[in-house]
Amino acid sequence: MRHVRRAGRIGAIALGCAAVLGLPAIAHAGGNVQAGRAKASLCEVCHGLDGISKVPPAPNLAGQNADYLVTQLLAFKTGERKNDVMSLVAPTLSQKDIENLAAYYAAIEITVGKIPGE
């Protein structure tokens, strides 16, 4: 029961943050990882199939929170967030495509190494 209460509080906090920041409230992204991997070929040029950016201005997507990715893709799709490339790609994505891509990139495991010299 304790975990349910904690999850409920975390969800409420997330919704509150979304409201304060003016972001749309999003339910947990329930996408399909395999379908997302297939769709990720659209993203590969900039973000890499492995989610590691291939061009300096594009962010790494590997290991990113799925709900965050859904929120950002929806912002590009609606024009709330602007980027020359994403403004062309995002409108072609369905809600399911967005959830699948988010699930795929969130499922990629990343590791963090030590800072050199430490």
Tell me the domain boundaries of the chain: 30-107
Residue 21 pLDDT class (50, 70, 90 cuts): very low
Query: Is pLDDT larger for residue 25 or for residue 110?
Result: 110
- In percent, the amount of the chain with pLDDT more than 70 equals 75
Query: Is pLDDT larger for residue 29 or for residue 91?
Result: 91
Q: What pLDDT is stored for residue 29 in this prediction?
A: 54
CATH 1.10.760.10 fits domain 30-107 = yes
pTM: predicted TM-score of the whole model, two decimal places: 0.73
pLDDT at 25 over 70: no
Residue 55: HSE in the Cβ half-sphere, 13 Å Cα cutoff: 8
Residues 6+ apart with CB under 8 A from 100: 31, 32, 33, 35, 36, 39
